[in-house]
Amino acid sequence: MKDEVQTREDRVANLKGMGCSRKRVEDARFTQGKGNYVDDVKLPGMLHGDFVRSPYGHARIKSIDTSAALALDGVVAVLTAEDLAPLNLHWMPTLAGDKQMVLADGKVLFQGQEVAFVVARDRYVAADAVELVEVDYEDLPVIVNPHESLQSDVVLREDLAGQTSGAHGPRKHHNHIFTWEVGDKEGTEQVMENADVVVEQSMYYHRTHPCPLETCGSVASMDKVNGKLTVYGTFQAPHVVRTVASLLSGIEEHNIRVISPDIGGGFGNKVGVYPGYVCSIVASIVTGKPVKWVEDRMENLMSTAFARDYHMTGKISATKDGKITGLDCHVIADHGAFDACADPTKFPAGFMNICTGSYDIPVAHLAVDGVYTNKAPGGVSYRCSFRVTEAVYLIERMIEVLAIELNMDAAELRRINFIKKEQFPYTSALGWEYDSGDYHTAWDKALEAVDYKGLRAEQAERVAAFKRGETRSLMGIGLTFFTEIVGAGPVKNCDILGMGMFDSCEIRIHPTGSAIARLGTISQGQGHATTFAQILASEIGLPADSITIEEGDTDTAPYGLGTYGSRSTPVAGAATAMAGRKIRAKAQMIAAYLLEVHDDDVEFDVDRFVVKGAPERFKTMKDIAYAAYNQAIPGIEPGLEAVSYYDPPNMTYPFGAYICVMDIDVDTGVPDIRKFYALDDCGTRINPMIIEGQIHGGLTEALAVSLGQEIAYDDMGNVKTGTLMDFFLPTAWEVPNYETDHTVTPSPHHPIGAKGVGESPHVGGVPCFSNAVQDAFRPFGNRHTNMPHDHWRIWKTANDLGLHG
Amino acid sequence: MSNKMHIQLNVNGEAHEFLAEPRELLIYALRERLNITGPHVGCDTSHCGACTVTLDGKSVKACTMFVAQANGAEITTIEGIGSPDALHVLQESFREHHGLQCGFCTPGMITRAVKLLEENPTPTEEEVRFGMAGNICRCTGYQNIVKSILAAANEMNAQPSSSEAVGHNKVEAAE
């Protein structure tokens, strides 16, 4: 037989299991234009929905006249809050324990807010009808600054008037949402009082938006004959959407089928539940026809899921030789008009308490105050685990500021404060247990790879040349060492709307030795169909090419909490490995029976079970799969299937060392990224090709956020960056080539040691680009300037420092 | 609004005739009338290029062109570039070099890249980056897209015959 002459290496290679750069199975359809995204879904008789949106940041609605719209040929319905109120659907609960208007109920609280939902024959008629809905507004004072909001007499959320307590404890003011406090306040204060050096720095991490290339949308279809509701949509968490849809609509959960088709990027934008989804469902129930809603780019940027908007103040103390002794942080968090942050329930500021970073800081304290303003709701984790980007930005800026204060090299300051390899598992001052790490090795590797000393010497020469008037270009060296916290999470402390954040995998092995596995997650470009098959191939010994991975259909996939926060590999990937091991355990019994030996006398080897000590006696997994379906084996049920629901014992803690070298033209403010080196340690690497692709992409999103991308409002609450004309998305022209590198420190608690990687480059990249800009101006007295460092702001920094003569 | 125009389009070698309002955008005529859903809508303002098609030999963003303006045109979309049995070199190359992730930008990206390599069969990296700057990708950071295009250019130059699947507006890539 051909099989018998294969070497063991051939058999391993044939599996295309973990560790190889397997080409993606998804690509065939995408490269040929055969993807199936939500806007490609077309059902018979389908109607189109479109929103009337508020032009005001804050206004009372005196009246809504829908008669002219309804009179237009082709308009089927116009829904307002009044129509939804009898169904109790004019408001909906948010993921953060607040509630949000589905359609404006008496007033509007942000520009772009949904006021009425028009349903028509096609998108053109719907757009015409939107123009015909007459809304009479009375404008109210607008507040776009959270500091102002906390001082203002203006009550933004009249529905909460008099409520002195919210989902996360006491409210101090009518525009205050919560205070979240972690750590040792008094202990930190004491350390600060007695410290050699204390530096304080305020910084604003600006509001931005995940802006996936595909906007959000849904197609709802209520089948009144069978009582079954089907909803296609851009859902990063389809199972949660089904549960929420059931709770809101009263339709039993088994009668709701939620399908996430191909998703054109998510980055956090598609975690939340939006009024558009709800309105398409209600409209389908009302009209009895399928209803499609797909937002345009402006609606996307103005109304669904902003990110960041954290006004942060850090205070760090150290000995005079640079050993950090304490960290105190305070955040004013602008949550917009409704608290719709997508965080695990018990973490209203996400995992902001990872802000001690990669450093052994003995005592720390963090307080976050959530505040309402007249801005869009959201607060999603844009390509990061919950608020980790904010946390890492804070600590990596504080390290730089401390280095300036101590007149120390920032690389050395990091090194002397790293958590040491032997300290893992390490419990941080703010309560996390870091699973594994080897920071010194990674840092040294990175500094050596870029010739850090040489770069600093070059930079010093450049400064001298600048001062002599020989150049108008400065050189910045951006450093960042980050630790992520991903893989939410252990059910004991992580849930979304009460549902524990486990995940799942169900495997069916077919008689001929191929398989299908279904998971509770949903790919949005991460390549799950490729990588999860690789995990399984290694675990069960069938070729990855013979394994189909399916996600996103709640009628067929096991319940899971979805894909965001780099949780797919840490949680669903673990479930996949564990389900594979269940398959293998049963296969072992079948193999032993077929080989007529005791279960303990066979062992797994790549793609087969062999008799111990007699490798010529074996049964391949293919043989075993066939036997499972056509032999009556005493004491063993027919079939070969398994399901695993995995509750992770801990989070995983990927880390990395990034270095950016940038030349900055002082007169134009234009930065030129000369070099970007990214070393990532995501534990066990499943597919290096896909990992590197994720790193390139995450770094580019970090470049965008750091160097120009923002959602800006004027004082009237108008969104100033509502189209791609103003909202910065880098093109191939602006983006450098990145150098990637890695170390491998497996997670000790994950079945295959994998930690997750998709978000690391964003988390580490943002402070790295920012530090590079700020480092260029350090020799001229710069301590901190806020992002985004667009050309104008860089020019202004130079100007403020007197560099324009 | 009932002033409909008689529109004729040739899309991927197939003739189509229909009546459409002059204000109908080309992208919706393709996607919703003709069920050609490869080109996508990403931004509505011609910045992102997800809707890129080739129209009478030029790369065009179908989200900001009226179907009336395209009347009589010959159009190639991603569906007209290669076939499952004979993929275009660029389609192979994007897979080989991991030039895509979520896939939403990919049809426009490849359609533009086909045209770019017709215009300039031996581009430098800088020329690829400049020539592709009208197409935004949010996932890949472009590094592997650039790599895919440069590799495809090399391959097409080495094997002139393999570029035959380019479609209607092919320019000979190699001497």
Mean pLDDT to the nearest integer, B29-43: 97
Which comes out higher in pLDDT, residue B165 or A340? A340
In a domain, B172, yes or no: no
In a domain, B174, yes or no: no
Q: Domain of B100: which CATH number?
A: 1.10.150.120
Q: Domain of B41: which CATH number?
A: 3.10.20.30
**pLDDT digit string (tens) for A724-741?**
999 999 999 999 999 999
**pLDDT digit string (tens) for A143-164?**
999 999 999 999 999 999 999 9
**Chain B neighbours among A 234-273 (CB < 8 Å)?**
262-265, 267
The model's confidence at residue B3, banded by pLDDT at 50, 70 and 90, is confident
Q: Do A731 and B142 touch (CB under 8 A)?
A: yes
CA pair distance A325, A417, nearest whole angstrom = 10
What is the complex's ipTM, to 2 decimals? 0.97
Q: B144 in contact with A at a CB cutoff of 8 Å?
A: yes
Residue B172 is predicted with a pLDDT of: 40
- DSSP letters along A627-645, please? HHHHS--TT--SS-EEEEE
Q: What is the CA radius of gyration of chain A?
A: 28
**pLDDT digit string (tens) for A443-489?**
999 999 999 999 999 999 999 999 999 999 999 999 999 999 999 98
Where is A129: in which H helix or E strand? Answer: helix A123-132
- B10 plus B70 within the same structural domain: yes
* The last residue of a domain, from among B16, B51, B78: B78
Q: Do B135 and A689 touch (CB under 8 A)?
A: no
What is the DSSP pairing of strand A495-496 with strand A499-500? antiparallel
A735 contacts in B (CB within 8 Å)? 129, 141-143
**pLDDT digit string (tens) for A480-489?**
999 999 999 8
**Chain A neighbours among B 96-135 (CB < 8 Å)?**
96, 98, 100-107, 110, 128-130, 132-135
CA pair distance A622, A547, nearest whole angstrom = 12
- B94 plus B147 within the same structural domain: yes
- B99 plus B33 within the same structural domain: no
The answer to whether the peptide bond before residue B107 is cis (omega within 30 degrees of 0) is no
Per the annotation, the verdict on A384 as an active-site residue is yes
| Residue B123 CA from chain centroid, whole number | 18
Q: Is A603 helix (H, G, I), strand (E, B) or coil?
A: strand
Domains of chain A, earliest start first: 2-35+503-646 (3.30.365.10), 38-140+215-263+271-303 (3.90.1170.50), 306-487+651-800 (3.30.365.10)
Q: Do A696 and B96 touch (CB under 8 A)?
A: no
The model's confidence at residue A565, banded by pLDDT at 50, 70 and 90, is confident
Alpha helices in A468-615 (DSSP H): 528-540, 574-595
CA pair distance A265, A270, nearest whole angstrom = 9
- B74 plus B96 within the same structural domain: no
- B93 plus B138 within the same structural domain: yes
- B98 plus B74 within the same structural domain: no
In a domain, B83, yes or no: no
In a domain, B32, yes or no: yes
- B103 plus B46 within the same structural domain: no
In a domain, B147, yes or no: yes
Q: What percent of chain A has pLDDT over 90?
A: 97
- B105 plus B155 within the same structural domain: yes
Q: How far is B139 from chain A (nearest CA, A)?
A: 5
Residue A497 is predicted with a pLDDT of: 87
CA pair distance B173, A320, nearest whole angstrom = 66
User: Chain B residue closest to A300 (CA)?
Assistant: B43
Tell me the CA distances in angstroms from A350 to A416, A486, A593, A802, one per residue in order: 28, 11, 51, 40
Per the annotation, the verdict on A539 as an active-site residue is no
Q: Do B100 and A527 touch (CB under 8 A)?
A: no
The answer on pLDDT for A797 being more than 50 is yes
* The last residue of a domain, from among B78, B108, B128: B78
Question: Of the ranges A190-204, A290-304, B159-173, which one carries the lowest mean pLDDT score?
Answer: B159-173
What is the span of the domain harbouring residue B120? 89-166
CA pair distance B119, B112, nearest whole angstrom = 10
Q: Are B142 and A735 in contact (CB under 8 A)?
A: yes
- B155 plus B103 within the same structural domain: yes
Mean pLDDT to the nearest integer, B132-158: 98
In a domain, B102, yes or no: yes
CA atoms within 13 A on the CB side of A683: 26
CA pair distance A458, A573, nearest whole angstrom = 45
**pLDDT digit string (tens) for A78-130?**
999 999 999 999 999 999 999 999 999 999 999 999 999 999 999 999 999 99
Per the annotation, the verdict on A759 as an active-site residue is yes
- B56 plus B108 within the same structural domain: no
- Interface residue of B34, B129, B139, B145 to substitute, partner A, most A CBs within 10 Å: B139
**pLDDT digit string (tens) for A495-550?**
998 899 999 999 999 999 999 999 999 999 999 999 999 999 999 999 999 999 99
* The last residue of a domain, from among B31, B55, B78: B78
CB nearest A693 (choices: B21, B91, B98): B98
Q: Are A521 and A503 in contact (CB under 8 A)?
A: yes
**pLDDT digit string (tens) for A603-658?**
999 999 999 999 999 999 999 999 999 999 999 999 999 999 999 999 999 999 99
Q: Is A508 helix (H, G, I), strand (E, B) or coil?
A: strand
**pLDDT digit string (tens) for A739-761?**
999 999 999 999 999 999 999 99
Q: How far is A797 from chain B (nearest CA, A)?
A: 28
In a domain, B173, yes or no: no
Residue A485 is predicted with a pLDDT of: 96
The answer on pLDDT for A319 being more than 60 is yes
Alpha helices in A371-451 (DSSP H): 388-406, 410-417, 439-449
The answer to whether the peptide bond before residue A748 is cis (omega within 30 degrees of 0) is no
> Which of the residues A355, A384, A505, A660 is marked catalytic?
A384
In a domain, B29, yes or no: yes
- B48 plus B103 within the same structural domain: no
- B69 plus B100 within the same structural domain: no
Q: Are A93 and A340 in contact (CB under 8 A)?
A: no
- Mean pLDDT for chain A? 97
Our count of domains for chain B comes to 2
Residue B175 is predicted with a pLDDT of: 31
Question: Of the ranges A377-386, A417-426, A529-538, which one carries the lowest mean pLDDT score?
Answer: A377-386
Residue A805 is predicted with a pLDDT of: 81
